[in-house]
Amino acid sequence: MRLIHTSDWHLGRTLHSENLLPHQAGFLRWLLDEAVRQQAGAVVVAGDIYDRAVPSLDAVRLLDATLLRFAQARIPVILTSGNHDSAVRLGFGAGLSEAAGIHLRTSVADLARPVLLADEHGPVAVYGVPYLLPDAVMADLGVQSRTHEAVLAEAARLIRADAAARGIGRTVVAAHAFVTGGQPAESERDIRVGGVADVPAAVFAGFSYVALGHLHGAQRAGPPPGPGPGPLTGDSVTKSTVIRYSGSPLAFSFSEKDHRKSVTLAEIDAAGQVRTTALHTPVPRPLREVRGTLDSLLARADQHGADAELAGLAGAWVKVVLTDTVRPAAPMERLREKWPHTLVLDFAPEGQLTSSDADLERLASATDPVEICGMFVEFTSGGPADDTHRAVLRAAVEAAQHAESAA
Ligand SMILES: [Mn+2]
């Protein structure tokens, strides 16, 4: 059985005000082509389908059109809700769409109701666990402890019981969680709201494959691959469990500029052993970061390809870190003349500016309000206040003091 595992589509998300929807649409067209080409038995999407609980109209239209195309191609899709999704909105019409092979798993009541697939070796049961906020589901699951570990452990117990009752040994579980030891990126919303977030990988012991969402970098979770038993060797289940994050299909922050984005092809053999392969997703634009003073960067940009570090920046989404000690005028406009997709500007002045700790010490020992305002000018402009600045500041401070004493 060949499954494609993906997650964290975040339809409707922007990258520093850049609309990603056309690129998300491109990814979804690619995904359908790839699913056909790989003869995938199903596509599993492990949460954060939309970027928001109330998604934009264009994001809703894109998902609607995408699911219709998968249904027409007769490729089953199993989708769960993530911490960004509204489970109720995403799950609308789930009963109807199930008849067309689109399986929305957004409720606690459905988490142990598998989507049953089959190949020449027999059945594979795919379970979709929606994002479980402990506060919201503790009562339903009969769990006393307000932790992600407790609610997911109970979900896993229910799933094991269902698979055992059906006599199915090949099991896939999709879940949206932070598994202990994972490497986060800047674009994931903190999942710690409502209880301890970490879930030990051992919670998922015994399943053939665990398709995780939430972390945006593709990575393996749990014990390293290799022969031998999985993390839990009790009961009759001794085969190793493969647990993976597919990661997001697109980069959503500059902290992901070095990620090679992908979906995961998971091949499950007759014995339930799983082999995974990364299928690299299309890259709309690379993300790049450069650093220097504005004038030096602009001069280097003019060397037309002679400067290898800056090659290709005109076609990239660019973050520029300016090291000027005095903040230059209209830096974004000037950079965009060279690199039209510059999205982020950061200032990291080099030289006389000191650390924020030292700034705070100076601030604490300063008593003259003009001096304090001068430090603000220095902080924001990257250079000490000059005589003109100081004259303006002194006039403003004196006017304020005068108004106060007159009141
Ligand atoms: Mn996410």
Convert the chain into a string of H (helix), E (strand) and C (coil).
Answer: CEEEEECCCCECCEECCEECHHHHHHHHHHHHHHHHHCCCCEEEEECCCECCCCCCHHHHHHHHHHHHHHHHCCCCEEEECCCCCCHHHHCCCHHHHHCCCEEEECCHHHCCCCEEEEECCEEEEEEECCCCCHHHHHHHHCCCCCEHHHHHHHHHHHHHHHHHHHCCCCEEEEEECEECCCCCCCCCCCCCCCCECEECHHHHCCCCEEEEECCCCCEEECCCCCCCCCCCCCCCCCCCCEEEECCCCCCCCHHHCCCCCEEEEEEECCCCCEEEEEEECCCCCCEEEEEECHHHHHHHHCCCCCCHHHCCHHHCEEEEEECCCCCCCCHHHHHHHHCCCEEEEEECCCCCCCCHHHHHHHHHHCCCHHHHHHHHHHHHHCCCCCHHHHHHHHHHHHHHHHHHHHC
Ligand 1 centroid to residue 214 C-alpha, Å: 4
Mean pLDDT of the chain: 89
The answer on 155 and 74 residing in a single domain is: yes
pLDDT for the residue numbered 226: 52
- In a shared domain, residues 373 and 237: no
163 and 200 inside one domain = yes
Cα 208 to middle of ligand 1, angstroms: 24
Expressed as residue numbers, the domain containing 360 is 356-406
| Span from the CA of 262 to the centroid of ligand 1 (angstroms) | 15
Q: How confident is the model at residue 351 (pLDDT cuts 50, 70, 90)?
A: low
Q: Are residues 164 and 135 in the same domain?
A: yes
Q: 149 and 219: one domain?
A: yes
Please determine, for residue 381, whether its predicted confidence score (pLDDT) is greater than 90.
no
Among residues 321, 347, 373, which one ends one of the domains? Answer: 347
Cα of 216 from ligand 1 centre, angstroms:
6
**33 Cα–ligand 1 center, Å:** 24
Based on the fold, state whether residues 264 and 296 are members of the same structural domain. Answer: no
Q: Are residues 233 and 158 in the same domain?
A: yes
CA of 392 to the centre of ligand 1 (A): 48
**Of 237, 257, 280, which one is at a domain's C-terminal end?**
280
Same domain, 271 and 373: no
Last residue of a domain, one of 347, 371, 398: 347
CATH code, domain carrying 100: 3.60.21.10
Q: What is the model's pLDDT at position 233?
A: 41
Look at residue 230 in the predicted model and tell me its pLDDT.
Answer: 44
**Both 64 and 205 in a single domain?**
yes
pLDDT score of 194: 47
> Residue range 131-159: average pLDDT?
93
Residues 252 and 324 occupy one common structural domain: no
**Least confident interval from 103-112, 255-264, 329-338, 373-382:** 373-382
Residues 240 and 121 in one domain: yes
Does residue 64 share a domain with residue 165? yes
Structural domain count, the chain? 3
Q: To the nearest whole percent, how much of the chain has pLDDT over 70? A: 91
Residue pLDDT, tens place only, 253-272: 999 999 999 999 999 999 99
- State pTM to two decimals: 0.83
Q: How far is the CA of 94 from the centre of ligand 1 (A)?
A: 22
